[in-house]
Amino acid sequence: MEKKISVIILGAGRAKRLGLNFPKVIIEVGGQPLVFYLLDTLFSLKNLIKQIIFVVGFRKELVKEVVGKKYPGIEFVEQKVLNGTAKAAEIGLKKCKYSHVLILCGDMPLVEKKTLLNLLKLHFKKDADCSFVTTSVSSESDLGRVVRDKNNKVIKIIEKINLKKEINEANSGIYCFKKDILEKQLKKVKMDRRKKEYFLTQLIEILAQENLKIITYFLKENKQFTGVNTPSDLICVYRLLNQKFIEQTLKKGVRILDPYTTFLSYDTKIGKNSIIYPFTFIEKNVIIGDNCKIGPFVHIRENTVIKKGAQIGNFAEINRSYIGEESKVKHFSYLGDAYLEKKVNIGAGVVTANYDGKRKNKTYIGKDAFIGSDTILVAPVKIGKNALTGAGSVVTKDVKKNSIVVGVPAKFLKKRS
């Protein structure tokens, strides 16, 4: 049997309940678009998955631009009329090259490689016509429930509101079909009269009535299947992702004192024996070396590198900057577009005035320099090795090495020994 799979990602919807005029699949969460987490997982299964088809609809050009830039091999198809998941799958199916089709929603970033691999292995092993993942949920969950007959065979999926008795087994929304079965049976899906849409879930009942082979892979732990339909869902997904980032970081020998007030990004890199204090927010593309101390109340923004032994303290913001080994930025400071060499000391309240209204400018600070409290460094500016600025100085011109400057604007006072 051919063990090659085409994937259809459903990502055409408007997400009205989110209240945004923006496709939910590319909302940035934890430093990257929501759907990128799922795509990275799918690409990790490249031995099985040979084709990915992305169904777009609402603001399709924006989705294609964002997704296509990082994943150039993905194929896009448009669902012009947003009339349900069954019709989206039907549109995607026309491009499928392989004899098995995996279908997922684009708003489930927590789905793990192991889960998909186990589903696909079971699908092939049992030679199933349809396989799908089920999970255990509480009575409050809105996921559709899996209905079985007295012989424990799946007979349909129904919405929670239509339940006549409590059922805790729910549909995750992840399916694998034989392509020929899917092509034939999708045509039988009827419009839901109440919602005026064609739902993929109806296909399970159709397959059961045709006595086709339906297999389920049950996973008790349900957080992997958290989707994003409301603002509350978005909060929940980010919380779960952040928990995952923190767990991965802890395994690398980093101390995080309070995981509930520490916020990382998907690609955060922190070295061994570093300590992250409470109320620290780290954006994407940040690298922190070994033996660093970060926080509390710190915001490390994009494209920042903090080298071994450096310290970033209370109420500091670092943006697009390089902080050299054993340098200290301890209190109430803003460093933007700055480059600090080794053992630089940044006093309380120091600001790099990096934006002149038109462009962002650079500040360079040499090794062993001491920047006094409340100094404003008006970029572009260079502070030489072992130089010192007096408290409250406004530095508008380059400062030579071993020099002490003071005043507004700062002027040379004397040599620093």
Domain boundaries along the sequence of the chain: 5-225, 252-415
> Largest Cα–Cα distance of the chain, in whole Å?
92
pLDDT on residue 376: 98
pLDDT on residue 1: 44
Please, what's the b/e burial string for 36-57 (b: 16 or more CB within 10 A of its CB; e: otherwise)?
Answer: bbbbebbeebeebbebbbbbbb
Q: Would the pTM of this model clear 0.85, i.e. be above it?
A: yes
Sheet strands (E) in 72-230: 75-78, 100-105, 130-136, 145-148, 154-158, 169-178, 214-219
Angle of helix 113-125 relative to helix 34-43, nearest 10 degrees, comes to 50
Q: What is the pLDDT of residues 128-140, one digit of tens each?
A: 999 999 999 887 7
- Stretches where the chain sits below pLDDT 50 are 1
Q: What type of residue sits at position 17?
A: R
CA 179 – CA 128 distance, rounded (Å):
11
pLDDT on residue 16: 81
- Return left, alpha or beta for 173; rule: phi > 0 is left, psi -120 to 50 is alpha, else beta: left
- Return left, alpha or beta for 27; rule: phi > 0 is left, psi -120 to 50 is alpha, else beta: beta
Q: What type of residue sits at position 62?
A: L
Residue 179: which residues within 8 A CB-CB, separation 6 or more?
6, 93, 96, 98, 99, 100, 101
pLDDT on residue 161: 66
DSSP 8-class letter at 144: P
Residue 40: which residues within 8 A CB-CB, separation 6 or more?
none
pLDDT on residue 71: 97
pLDDT on residue 194: 87
CATH C-level class of 5-225: alpha beta
φ and ψ of 371, to 5 deg:
-100, 115
Topology annotation, domain 252-415: UDP N-Acetylglucosamine Acyltransferase; domain 1 (2.160.10)
Residues taking part in catalysis = 331
Q: What is the pLDDT of residues 258-276, one digit of tens each?
A: 999 999 999 999 999 999 9
